[in-house]
Structure 1
């Protein structure tokens, strides 16, 4: 069992550059623990807070107890209303327009007589589960229950892969552009530095201009970002003057285009560490793309992959079943590394003809006018195309003319009946806070 006070660095965090000590943090965890201890074993508690220090203190206080901690992706009224089916207990921020009926456990009277021997959570300490939610890219979000043992296994793998493998491992500094409410941000921004005594910045910097300002001190940072955020840097990379302060850049939550990865590597003098995995599977592999040559993914320690009719099949200590068939097509190389060859679950029928939307999107992105795109099947059965244009496309006079060009471009590979019927043009695709497109929500653009 790891005592929490022995894990944390003395100067463990900052908030917008203002130092926050381990003594302050432990006092905060203790204060919440004394309030939460009266909760009945087996209860579930919803946890949301925009500040990472406040969030982490509540998280570790709840994890001292046999409780399930439910992590909503956001605090929107409808999200919270849906989650009331799971629990009415709530810890953290609750907006004024939130649905009624929640009991705020932060307001419970503290038990001042309670001894506080705070430990790092795990099954041996009687901790409950963490409950995450998938992005719902192909339907409603679903709850994913993760044990602290699985979380700890993944944290150990991250430390061993990226830190202990270095000649002189040392304490690191983490700063994020993604939310800690999702598993990627939670692991990389908070739990990894907390578990291994590293330093983290509590504030999140969604805009690279704000991040660049924060990078202006003596530290060398591990930057945790999404593919969508990194792709937007390519044309005007405000981080270039700060590249000496960037030790490593992580990207996860979706694919980062090889062309963007190569450009970023040239601009920042280092490759982006892409991490492949999901909420359900945990981390699977990683790579850095430095050239146009196909770059395989390296599986994390303990991970192995095979193929089943072209789809990747996963064996991992982070999943419950012996083997899981993934929704990605791939090729496993003789040395165990693997290539990703697109999604296997986005084939639809249009006018009785099968269409691979991944392949059609790839073809559309090859057009010189297209910066990014997303295709979906509308309720009519026909396809809709949501397109972000590059600078060349934005200078074109008519979207009608552009549509004609793009239809003709797709028509070189796909039958006319399969080409998207409706086209919408946006400045940028509507990614969520995880850097993912929620395809089930894109139909609003075609109403």
Structure 2
């Protein structure tokens, strides 16, 4: 059993640059633990807080108990109403902001007689589960239950992979939310578990992040592909690149062209992490050239092929193997290539169309920065396209559409080419940097 006081750094965090120390944090966790101690074993509690320090304190206090911790993807009213099917207990912002229909456990009277011996959560110590929700890219979000043993195994892998030989103190700063598993692991739990430092404030926009990077400290930046791709044409991080130790990207694909440009601008590769809420981390890579760059599996992870799809073996999943929704090729050294999703083949006018392949063809056009295709209720295809800056300024969208249709027509029959086209400065990614295909139809209504 690891005691919290032995794991946390003395100067463990800051909030907008203002220091927050270990003793302050432990006192906060202890007070919350004494309030939560009356919860019955097997209960579940919805946890949502916009401040990462307050969130982390509640998370670790609840994890001292045999209760499940439900992490909603957002705090929208309908999301919270839906989650009342799982729990009526809530921990989070001020009591006055407690959502209707929930009981705020932060407002429970503390048990001052309770001896607190705070430890790092583990399944063996009786901690409950963490409940995440998938992004629902092709349908409604679903609950994913994770044991603390799997979380701790992944944290150990991250520390060994990216800090194993140096054993240096790291500083983390994030542009993503701690409510999702990527932000939770990389922004909070990794620094907390291994005594590193983290900035509690989130910086969704790089212009705000630059102001916090300062002149002395070197940071690990936790970002999404959507945020990074927006930097390509106006990279404000260049002025602070000497303060950046490493940049992580996860939650979706980062275009190779963007990764290469960013590496040239920042003098270091972007560390892309491949995985999902269900599987945990699978592999990582940094793209530095146009040559195909394979992924390196994390320690303990291996992959094989089955009818063109990847099969995963990992200590982070409960079953022996899992068939993934990604097509891929496993190389002789165990590294692997991703070859697109395996579940996006549709029929258009009785002809089979691989949307992944069509998107790849479309992205090869010099006018296209990013794109997404979907099948509309009519049965025909719709295209959402983010153009290069030069194309936005010089060419009307009607002329662009003619050119892009002709480009696709070199490989696909005319009846299969998208009929409706919508143009964006940036594709409509969600807060996790993902495209929710089930919601993209609204742009064609």
Given the alignment, which residue of 318, 321, 329 partners 2:319? 321
Q: Deviations over 1:18-52 (max 9, x none)?
A: 00000000011011111111111101100001100
Is the aligned partner of 1:8 residue 2:12? no
Aligned length: 445
Q: CA separation in 2, counterparts of 1:392 and 1:161?
A: 40
- The alpha carbon displacement at 1:97 in A equals 8.8
Is the aligned partner of 1:301 residue 2:299? yes
Partner residue in 1 for 2:57: 57
Partner residue in 2 for 1:33: 33
Q: CA separation in 2, counterparts of 1:321 and 1:376?
A: 32
Given the alignment, which residue of 191, 208, 211 partners 2:209? 211
5 Å matches for 1:187-202? 187-202=185-200
Q: Deviations over 1:282-339 (max 9, x none)?
A: 0000111111111111100000100000100000010011110101111111110111
Partner residue in 2 for 1:179: 177
Partner residue in 2 for 1:421: 419
Runs of 4+ in 1 over 6 A off after TM superposition: 94-98
Q: Which moved more, 1:82-91 or 1:147-156?
A: 82-91
Is the aligned partner of 1:368 residue 2:361? no
Partner residue in 2 for 1:142: 142
Given the alignment, which residue of 287, 290, 294 partners 2:288? 290
Conservation of the 8 A alpha-carbon contact between 1:258 and 1:292? yes
Given the alignment, which residue of 255, 262, 265 partners 1:264? 262
Q: CA separation in 2, counterparts of 1:95 and 1:414?
A: 58
Q: CA separation in 2, counterparts of 1:137 and 1:245?
A: 35
Give the match's secondary structure for 2:65. Answer: coil
**Structure 1 residues 234 and 345 mapped into 2: Cα distance closer, same or farther (>3 Å)?**
same
Q: CA separation in 1, counterparts of 2:381 and 2:98?
A: 36
5 Å matches for 1:330-369? 330-369=328-367
Conservation of the 8 A alpha-carbon contact between 2:274 and 2:284? yes
TM-score, normalised relative to structure 1: 0.97
Partner residue in 2 for 1:438: 436
- The alpha carbon displacement at 1:98 in A equals 7.8
- The alpha carbon displacement at 1:96 in A equals 7.9
- The alpha carbon displacement at 1:214 in A equals 0.7
TM-score, normalised relative to structure 2: 0.98
Given the alignment, which residue of 403, 408, 411 partners 1:410? 408
Partner residue in 1 for 2:219: 221
Q: RMSD of the TM alignment (CA)?
A: 1.3
Gapped runs of 5+ residues in structure 1? Answer: none
Give the match's secondary structure for 1:47. Answer: strand
Q: Which moved more, 1:180-189 or 1:347-356?
A: 347-356
Conservation of the 8 A alpha-carbon contact between 1:48 and 1:91? yes
Q: CA separation in 2, counterparts of 1:421 and 1:340?
A: 29
- The alpha carbon displacement at 1:99 in A equals 5.6
Conservation of the 8 A alpha-carbon contact between 2:121 and 2:148? yes
Conservation of the 8 A alpha-carbon contact between 2:90 and 2:98? no
Q: Which moved more, 1:368-377 or 1:83-92?
A: 368-377
Give the match's secondary structure for 2:186. Answer: helix
- The alpha carbon displacement at 1:100 in A equals 2.1
Q: Deviations over 1:148-199 (max 9, x none)?
A: 00000000000011101x3x32110000010000000000000000000000
- The alpha carbon displacement at 1:351 in A equals 1.3
Conservation of the 8 A alpha-carbon contact between 2:405 and 2:417? yes
